[in-house]
Amino acid sequence: MLRIGLVPLVRPLFRGSRLGLEKTTRRALAALGEELGFELAYVAEPVAEAAQAEAAAQAAMAARLDFLLLQCVTFTTGEEFLPLLRLPLPLGLWALPEAWEGGPLPQNALCGLNLGLSLARGPVKWFYGWVEDDWFQSRFRLTLAALRGARVLREGRVLWLGGAAPGFFAFEALPETGLVVEQAGLDELWAALGEVREAEVKERLQALDELAECSEEALWESVRLELALARLARGYDGVALRDWPEIPGRLGVMPQAALARLADAGYALAPEGDVMGLASMLALRAVSGRPALLLDLVHLSHKGLLLWHGGEASRAWAGGPTRLVPHFNRGLPAVRDMALRAGPVSGLRLLPGRRAVVYGGHLSGERGYEGVSGYLTRPTWAAQPLTPQQFLASWLNHRLPHHLVAGMGAHEGALLEMCAWLGLEVLPARPEEGLA
């Protein structure tokens, strides 16, 4: 759970400091935490002077918070703000509405919020309203999603198994957000394969509940690979796997079905050794609460921009029946064949140099080529609406790696906020014609 801190700021001169507003809003915020999945891990006594602000800042740092809310119960001046604004934490400034209208001004909290924001030098999210207000909650939910994405990119741990696929040099870049990347050779995979018992494979094959156009015998090595990868993935947030050419060459199977079935079970695995793609998948999963996937951009038509990959997607993405079928080129078992479900999608691609692209759109639900496919329509780029042609031009003009990372739902706002918390530069759309 996210750990949230709260520091009420008051000025005793104002009548509103004696109404107990910080106590009622604290209880309401704790109740909201039970609903939205965060813990109110630190609450300071009301801060009215600089020394109290210094003590609250030290205590907030010791509490290992993901986010600190500075609550303007009343008007507050810079002496109380500055010790807290200097903290290396994601910060929110929150003003409570006036307790009444007319007569003496009870709090002047909004003006205090304005003053505090004018002093901030790093990224800060402002809030206004009571905890129960729709405006407060919509902005706060967005921040929670952004913080979940930022946390996995700062504190997560992934396995890079085998390195990047041959010739895919853009996939050799590593994240610069704090994500720990542990490297291992494919010899560890071969060793894990040797530990898989025959009874385990038989049990997994008997539990197969998906239409398969491959025999159990043909799927044997695919299921053994699935079990071996599950062993290696324990203790990691995800695995970036060099899934070819060694696996089909040595095992006689394509790895896609194994990756797809592991995705069904909640694992995050990126093919072709794409670590930055994996990191982007983890952030999207944290933000959306649903599995993410990697796709190639393969065709542009009046239907939209066709997204496709060889068949590693979770069935959560399916827009209809799924099948395990032989690979469309090699004829080896097995890949998952399915259409991507219709609906909104969001995307993130982390890039070297602490940069990122954030995008979105809708999948039409219409399938394209065999494997996993769907048409992206009504695309956006950093919340800017584009045509599919303009989106493709922007992708190519920025010379981005060839994996587009997609997550379910409309989360562009949360992804943009996440990038701000992480200090990542979000690249603008570049739909102009000309040289890349």
| pLDDT score recorded for residue 19 | 96
Is residue 390 packed enough to be buried (19+ CB in 10 Å), middle (13-18) or exposed (0-12)?
middle
Residue 154 zone, left/alpha/beta (φ > 0; ψ -120 to 50; rest): alpha
Instruction: Say how many C-beta atoms besides its own lie within 10 A of residue 51's C-beta.
Output: 12
Compute the distance between CA of residue 90 and CA of residue 422 in angstroms, rounded to an integer: 9
Q: What mean pLDDT, rounded, does the chain reach?
A: 97
**Helix, coil or strand: residue 234:** coil
Q: Residues 102, 104, 107, 112: is their CA dihedral positive or negative?
A: positive
Q: What is the mean pLDDT of residues 320-338?
A: 94
Instruction: Say how many C-beta atoms besides its own lie within 10 A of residue 320's C-beta.
Output: 10
| pLDDT score recorded for residue 434 | 76
In this predicted structure, the answer to whether residue 277 has a pLDDT above a threshold of 80 is: yes
| pLDDT score recorded for residue 329 | 87
Work out the angle between the directed axes of helices 275-288 and 412-422 (0-180°, nearest 10).
120
Q: What is the mean pLDDT of residues 205-214?
A: 92
In this predicted structure, the answer to whether residue 436 has a pLDDT above a threshold of 90 is: no
Q: What is the pLDDT of residues 64-87, one digit of tens each?
A: 999 999 999 999 999 999 999 999
| pLDDT score recorded for residue 435 | 79
Confidence band for 427, pLDDT divided at 50, 70 and 90 = very high
Q: What is the pLDDT of residues 7-23, one digit of tens each?
A: 999 999 999 999 999 99
CB 9 within 8 A of CB 71: yes
| Percentage of residues in the chain having pLDDT higher than 90 | 97
Q: What is the mean pLDDT of residues 304-315?
A: 96
Residue with tokens 């039409």, as numbered in its chain = 364
| Element at 147 (helix H, strand E) | helix 134-155
| pLDDT score recorded for residue 96 | 98
In this predicted structure, the answer to whether residue 223 has a pLDDT above a threshold of 80 is: yes
Structural domains for the chain: 2-132 (3.40.50.9100), 157-426 (no CATH)
In this predicted structure, the answer to whether residue 261 has a pLDDT above a threshold of 90 is: yes
Compute the distance between CA of residue 314 and CA of residue 312 in angstroms, rounded to an integer: 7
| pLDDT score recorded for residue 3 | 98
Q: What is the mean pLDDT of residues 266-289?
A: 98
Give Cα separations from 342 to 304, 370, 380 (angstroms).
13, 17, 16
| pLDDT score recorded for residue 384 | 97
pTM: 0.96
Confidence band for 111, pLDDT divided at 50, 70 and 90 = very high
Backbone φ and ψ for 398, nearest 5 degrees, come out as -80, -5
Q: What is the mean pLDDT of residues 103-111?
A: 97
| pLDDT score recorded for residue 413 | 98
| pLDDT score recorded for residue 55 | 98
Q: What is the mean pLDDT of residues 248-273?
A: 97
Least confident window among 287-291, 397-401, 432-436: 432-436
Short-list 409, 264, 431, CA closest to 348:
409
In this predicted structure, the answer to whether residue 433 has a pLDDT above a threshold of 90 is: no
